């Protein structure tokens, strides 16, 4: 059975808060090398996120992490908001309606181990920092889709 990684595009539109969205979930094959490279880059730069998350400046806000959740053969990468870190585990709530794992639901409290993190993001001075997997998905959009998305976002890509 092919394994798919579901990545919620909804986070692109709702990065400033946790709310349901009608935006589609994009299914990505587990063997997608570009997406796997993005996940590796996010994991390798996690210390950057942690440094800012622990002592954010007034121009840094909207911190989210993407966690890898599994149920049997199903893998879904889901954004988590309202973060707290206890020194070893992140606590937060699911930031969008999960697509593939019925035991998870929107705004459900969850714990994320560092090893489960597949992406991170925050907004600084109105610009997206991190969001490695989101950048891959945005790049795959048509120019028209990117323009429409960018018009809705409360931050900009650079």
Secondary structure E strands in the chain: 4-8, 25-29, 60-71, 74-85, 89-94, 109-113, 117-124, 127-130
Say whether pLDDT at 134 is over 60: yes
pTM of the model: 0.85
Q: What is the pLDDT of residue 24?
A: 54
Q: What is the pLDDT of residue 10?
A: 39
């Amino acid at each position: 059975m092919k394994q798919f990684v579901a990545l919620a595009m909804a986070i692109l539109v709702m990065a400033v808060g946790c709310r349901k969205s009608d935006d589609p979930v994009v299914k990505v094959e587990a063997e997608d090398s570009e997406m796997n490279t993005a996940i590796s880059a996010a994991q390798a730069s996690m210390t950057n996120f942690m440094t800012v998350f622990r002592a954010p400046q007034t121009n840094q806000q909207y911190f989210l992490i993407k966690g890898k959740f599994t149920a049997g053969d199903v893998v879904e990468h889901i954004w988590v908001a309202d973060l707290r870190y206890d020194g070893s585990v992140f606590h937060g709530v699911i930031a969008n309606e999960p697509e593939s794992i019925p035991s998870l639901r929107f705004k459900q409290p969850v714990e994320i181990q560092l090893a489960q993190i597949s992406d991170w993001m925050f907004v600084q001075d109105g610009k997206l920092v991190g969001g490695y997997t989101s950048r891959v998905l945005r790049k795959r959009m048509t120019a028209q889709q990117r323009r429409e998305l960018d018009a809705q976002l409360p931050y900009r890509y650079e």
